[in-house]
Structure 1
């Protein structure tokens, strides 16, 4: 991700924050050194987790004071029931971006940084665990903005990454395109193991897999070459140059599982600047108006309307098939591009829109 993307989908990553498990049965957390979590039968600890390069960290006991790099990790911990142990976060959730049931608790988490948490503040936070959504992603400043492993150790902080996001743009990432949510599910399991909430993690993953399996079953008879093409329009990235959601991004898995074809799936990255000429050449069947949650239903409606109005009024996009036929999906950025439990809800929402005769709306 590039600095330019900060105001768009990557900013949504910041605000909130790709394949086996989804629809195919996820692997249980295991101590294989590849990012899974190994547990002893007696207490669940110690737990071993690996970073993007495979280097392991051993967590001896459930953490009591957790700091998260952004709201993606924060939401996972809230969903797992470990939110009462979170003592601070960077990139806090935007108003309205957390599920209603979690919003009040999420709002009580102290904000240690409006963006990346300053190194000194993070090391002095008193945390015993730091959950890192970014790792060495260039857009986050890389190692220059994050303490070294030696500094983490000296401060008594164990460093655990969300592999589905931190590794997406690295050489160690799975080859593009990502077509399922197994890494997201594994992150949920990893955090469940690390925080002693493994049973809850399994409940969440099982629910995701059940919902995705229903969609896949409903759309199974649609031939691959007849599945509609799909463009995720990141309105908040600006309209001068569109940002493509590429094959390594979690949204590619969401779109694929919903039975559509991401027009930029062959882009071997997570995000990449594109051009309107590229979009016109793809001529997508459907366009998702991906805007960040503004905090209220009225503000969100206005943002979606502005995004649609741009596409209808912009000379380069006026003639697109999706624009001419009004094939727009009003689905927010966060639940599509940010790794989390709600990715499965988005799969169903997309599928119910592009296949209304096959997939029912709702869970």
Structure 2
């Protein structure tokens, strides 16, 4: 009987320890509980994959998706994922994730998942694949305030909790905040925030970032104002007439795809319709790479690039 009691007590202690080890995080409008850190994770897109890499999680991953079909990896990213396979050039199918025996998918709405699509947290749940959703992308499925740099910090912090690397995540976020503060405090501030337009792509009509897109947060952190910050979208198309009417002083070009940043700049500089824009008259363009303009570690460099451009005359 005594041995039986000791055995029962030991079992209860083990169960209690396991219960204490469980981690719950908020993911958009859901709460997700992890009984243990994922061991076979997959990330989608270059910026989400880089979040995993800066946390030192490559050895917990079985691959990544959604990069080569849209954009290219720079040298830094190639080195980071060299041991990992790209499982899908664009958005993965459910079969790709199941076939890789994944237990975790880090993606977002329009970053590997589509509302009502084949791959969602609900469709993956029966296969024991848990999903953490990119915070910036939550606006596609719930009410959310405009994008801020805190969205990216939240993702780093939550990934740290999920994978049991909280200290590493906290150190990264603390370092990012310190780096931004140190840099922006050293710059001469403009009398009022410069008017900024984000030019992603498109000639007939421009694709741009609205209030819920990360560029709005980057521009504000750097001391500017997105002229489309009242546009209730993350990324969407507007008209050139709206751009001309709001007359940006600076144009931020997102560099990716077949049309280069320089080709986009030349298009705007040579088109008579844009001749009276302050940004065109003064040739004030600044380029961000896709991985800098979307939520991820390189947002810090993006803010520094923008702040420097905003402070120069």
2:64 aligned partner: 89
Do residues 71 (structure 1) and 46 (structure 2) align? yes
Would you say the 8 A contact 2:107–2:131 is kept in 1?
yes
Do residues 173 (structure 1) and 129 (structure 2) align? no
* Cα distance in structure 1, aligned partners of 2:311 and 2:290: 21
Aligned pairs for 1:177-196 within 5 A: 178=147, 180-196=148-164
1:12 aligned partner: none
* Cα distance in structure 1, aligned partners of 2:194 and 2:93: 44
Change (3 A) 1:90 1:78: same
SS in 2 for 1:353: helix
* Cα distance in structure 1, aligned partners of 2:142 and 2:308: 35
* Cα distance in structure 2, aligned partners of 1:279 and 1:139: 30
Do residues 45 (structure 1) and 9 (structure 2) align? no
Superposed CA RMSD in Å reads 2.7
Change (3 A) 1:277 1:57: same
Do residues 339 (structure 1) and 311 (structure 2) align? no
Structure 2: runs of 5 or more not aligned: 1-15
* Cα distance in structure 2, aligned partners of 1:83 and 1:267: 37
Query: Greater relative contact order: 1 or 2 (C-alpha under 8 angstroms, separation 6 or more)?
Result: 1
Normalising by structure 1, what TM-score? 0.74
Do residues 232 (structure 1) and 198 (structure 2) align? yes
Q: Rg bigger for which structure?
A: 2
Change (3 A) 1:41 1:344: farther
Normalising by structure 2, what TM-score? 0.85
Would you say the 8 A contact 1:72–1:133 is kept in 2?
no
* Cα distance in structure 1, aligned partners of 2:225 and 2:187: 13
1:352 aligned partner: 308
- Normalized per residue, the structure richer in strand is 2
* Cα distance in structure 2, aligned partners of 1:120 and 1:203: 37
Aligned pairs for 1:255-266 within 5 A: 255-266=219-230
SS in 1 for 2:106: strand
Would you say the 8 A contact 1:96–1:103 is kept in 2?
no
Do residues 152 (structure 1) and 124 (structure 2) align? yes
Q: String of CA shifts for 1:149-180, please: whole Å, max 9, x gaps.
A: 3x533322222212223x03333322x3x3x3
* Cα distance in structure 2, aligned partners of 1:353 and 1:57: 40
Across the two proteins, how many residue pairs are aligned to each other? 297
Q: String of CA shifts for 1:176-209, please: whole Å, max 9, x gaps.
A: 3x3x311110100111111122222112111211
Do residues 126 (structure 1) and 101 (structure 2) align? yes
* Cα distance in structure 1, aligned partners of 2:127 and 2:72: 34
Change (3 A) 1:247 1:153: closer
1:211 aligned partner: 179
Change (3 A) 1:324 1:147: closer
